[in-house]
Structure 1
Amino acid sequence: MAQKAMPGTSPEGIRPTYIYKVVLLGSTSVGKSSLAYRYVKNDFRESLPTVGCSFFTQMLSLEEATIKFEIWDTAGQEKYHSVCHLYYWGAHAALLVYDITNKETFNRAKLWLRDLEKEFLPDEIVIALVGNKMDLAAEREVATEEGEEFARTKGLLFMETSAKSNHQVNDIFMAIVQELLQRKREEAPNHRLLTVNLEESRTGTGCC
């Protein structure tokens, strides 16, 4: 995983800064742009379809670290599908977004997952399945349990959101942050062990 720490953040007592690339994938009109705009601007806007890709940044100041999200909002139209892999190259996390009132967008999210599985190993990227438009729950075509079950079988994070009413928008991004930081913590002991082993190896070589 190509997580990057900003220069000058390593001295003791200074929180590290991690830059994470997050891509939003899904069919057109599921609300990817609205989710990104709500999260970054805390506002709702009925967006026109994204052409190619839009880009947002968001900073989070947590006790453990400072996080900079680079959010790539990809176009959902079929004509852009073949080039979207260029946008999610090097991503640390992905949101697979579908519209809970449109079953076909849920099926399309499964196809996006297949694309990601071809590009990344399971431990290289955090993937969240996001059912958007909870404000239209009365028109739902995809049951919460259906989304939960698919996410569980694939090892994905799962949440239902509404960019319009701001329902769980911050929560899904925070869940991604926590998962990324957890993976970062799990990496650390391995790096320390490797350093110790290398030192022992050099010491042994010098003695012989």
Structure 2
Amino acid sequence: MVLLHGKLVIAGDMTVGKTAICHVAANDANAFPKSYNCTNMADLVPKQIRVPDSDDTVEFFLIDSAGNSIYLDSLRDIWVTMDMYCIVYDITNRNSFKNCGMWLEQLSQSRGDHNVFGVLIGNKKDKENYRVVSTQEGKQLATSRKLEFFECSAKDNKGIAEIFKYLASEFVGRYRKRIKTLEKMGRDNY
């Protein structure tokens, strides 16, 4: 059994649903936030996720980042120690999708190493009739950036659990791989 702590940054434009995703995940979807204030800089939301088919658990520290560009310089200081990230866009807002590249660049500038991994999330699947960004476009962007892709509806709590289960499994898998590498190095040098 392993208990790991991971810092997970949630980034994207304003009003794409980052806070709603964090709220639904942290509260096991007992209550979707009917109203909330815009996030100023960043909010910290803790959440434990049990890794499927194991006794391992990851305690996420969700960093719900403001979508307003005036906070970018300060956010970089917060993001520097992240372990993983989620880039969120609204499937009914093409500009939020176009800006995903900018958010990825900002995260990369904050944490340039390659040990950080992430996912791309298309939110607001409950508004399918207003969709302007196709699932295929989301998948293509994710593939081109070596990210996993998910679509969800924070409002209906559809697809949220799968995102966090994937992140927890991947985080533990990477941890175990690093441990094996270090053990091998120890044996080879002993």
- TM-score scaled by structure 2? 0.92
Q: Tell me the distance in 2 between the aligned counterparts of 1:198 and 1:101.
A: 55
1:56 is aligned, of 41, 45, 52, to 45
Aligned partner letter, 2:4: Y
1:35 paired to 2:21: yes
Structure 2 unaligned segments of length 5 or more: list them.
none
1:173 paired to 2:179: no
1:164 is aligned, of 155, 160, 163, to 155
Q: Tell me the distance in 1 between the aligned counterparts of 2:169 and 2:106.
A: 24
Aligned partner letter, 1:166: N
Aligned partner of 1:20 in structure 2 is 6
Distance 1:121 1:77, change over 3 A: closer
Aligned partner of 1:96 in structure 2 is 87
2:185 is aligned, of 164, 183, 194, to 194
Aligned partner letter, 1:18: L
Q: Quote the sequence identity (%).
A: 25
Measured against aligned partners, the alpha-carbon deviations of 1:56-91 in whole angstroms (never above 9, x if no partner) come to 101123424221110110111121122211121111
1:183 paired to 2:174: yes
Q: Tell me the distance in 2 between the aligned counterparts of 1:16 and 1:181.
A: 8
Please give the secondary structure, in 2, of the residue aligned with 1:59: strand
1:75 paired to 2:61: no
Distance 1:160 1:111, change over 3 A: same
Structure 1 unaligned segments of length 5 or more: list them.
1-14, 200-208
Distance 1:161 1:65, change over 3 A: same
Aligned partner letter, 1:123: H
Deviates more, 1:53-62 or 1:125-134: 53-62
Aligned partner of 1:5 in structure 2 is none
Aligned partner of 1:44 in structure 2 is 32
Measured against aligned partners, the alpha-carbon deviations of 1:92-131 in whole angstroms (never above 9, x if no partner) come to 1111001110000011111011122233356311211101
Aligned partner of 2:134 in structure 1 is 143
Q: CA deviation at 1:143?
A: 0.6
Q: Tell me the distance in 2 between the aligned counterparts of 1:61 and 1:176.
A: 11
Aligned partner of 1:87 in structure 2 is 78
Q: Tell me the distance in 2 between the aligned counterparts of 1:138 and 1:66.
A: 37
Q: Tell me the distance in 1 between the aligned counterparts of 2:87 and 2:147.
A: 10
Q: Tell me the distance in 2 between the aligned counterparts of 1:186 and 1:141.
A: 39
| Count of paired positions | 185
| Structure label with greater radius of gyration | 1
Please give the secondary structure, in 2, of the residue aligned with 1:162: coil
